[in-house]
Amino acid sequence: MTVRDAIRASAIKSMNEASVMLAEKIAGDEWKFARMMNKKAKILKMKNSNFRNATGLHEAGQYSTAYDLARLLIAIRKDFPEQCEVFGESKLVCNDKTYFNHNIF
């Protein structure tokens, strides 16, 4: 799986395996990646967020708010505008299998 497809899989279909794979590639392990996320959250002034994993799945001590996540999305849109299109894609085709976005826009 390419990095681009892993990002798309995470965004389009919430494929947690792809999110963990990306975290491990970037930081070596998921916990180190979560610490990187927390450092970035402080820079973005996300005051009511604490990350424990790369997937967003429930874990003790992990929390966020809609306001903080909006701050994150604004930063993504500003810093990576070319990547924002992936959030609006309706499907992902990978290895001849089609995965549909479960978010209805």
Span 50-63, mean pLDDT? 95
pTM of the complete model: 0.84
pLDDT at 105 over 60: no
Is residue 72 over pLDDT 90? Answer: yes
3 state SS of 73: helix
Per-residue pLDDT, averaged over 59-81, amounts to: 95
Which residue do the tokens 């994993």 mark? 53
The pLDDT value given to residue 104: 63
Residue reference for tokens 């919430």: 14
> Is the pLDDT at 65 greater than 60, yes or no?
yes
Residues with Cβ < 8 Å from 104, sequence gap 6 or more?
Answer: none
